[in-house]
Chains A and B, each alone.
Chain A
């Protein structure tokens, strides 16, 4: 997998460089106009933000209940990417909302729960960095709660009153809006896979360094 990370990063960077031309060619949305084009970055980053939470939760489960140390490294990598893609989602969303809704932020279920999930990632990473011994198990428990939040975030726009577009928007996209969306989604996903692999590799190397220091001390 590591051999694929550099080509994945290069291809996704080239795709993201070309994205403005494709997005520019996409038609304007009838009520929101030009600002709706933020959607082409906002949607892929939001989906990967939620994916990070699921990955972090699944790997944390493997670490907690199957004692798999490698899974903890993948959970940590997923949490860091969740923080990154969550930040992109939570910054691009208000930039879109300011024009479309006339306000930067509303405290509806979707936005509030997304912010809470992002803060959970931040808390998880702070705990892992400064929590000391046992913080890996505490963090894993926290990641399970974070993962439980994901289905509620996804369905919130269909269940509770909000200004946020519903989940039916994406399957019903016309082709000339769908092409730039899935193009950006592919670029973001490739970047996500490459960064996740690199970050997990960094954690595996760190574990190896720690074990070598321990072996030196015992020797």
Chain B
């Protein structure tokens, strides 16, 4: 009896994916090119404009920060050297 239950369970495990497979669409037999990208595949322009504007801010602020940090380091070094002079 236990063996029958195990066999039934195994049959069910095998049968469920097979049934699901039967419902899948057919695989493409050839690629058909189109001239325009379908609407649901296109990137919204606002995302690209926002990314461009965001990049400008990140790049400029990053550079200003880097420049300020380097200027501070050099100015403190210069101050120290000048104070050591006789």
Contacts and interface: CB of A to CB of B under 8 A. Distances in A.
A88 interface: yes
Interface in B54-72: 55-57, 59-60, 63-64, 67, 70-71
Contacts, number: 77
Contacts of A209: 74, 77-78, 81
A98 B48 CA distance: 8
B14 interface: no
A95 B67 contact: no
Give the interface residue-count category, chain A: 20 to 34
B32 interface: no
Interface of B is mostly: helix
Interface residues of B, number: 28
B63 A213 contact: no
Interface stretch (A61-69, A118-126, A159-167, A198-206): A198-206
Interface of B: 37, 42-43, 45-46, 48-49, 51-53, 55-57, 59-60, 63-64, 67, 70-71, 74-75, 77-78, 81-82, 84-85
Give me the 8 closest cross-chain CB pairs, A-B, nearest first: A34-B45, A35-B45, A92-B52, A212-B81, A205-B74, A95-B48, A38-B52, A95-B52
12 contacts: A16-B60, A33-B45, A35-B49, A37-B49, A38-B52, A88-B59, A92-B55, A95-B49, A95-B51, A209-B78, A212-B78, A216-B81
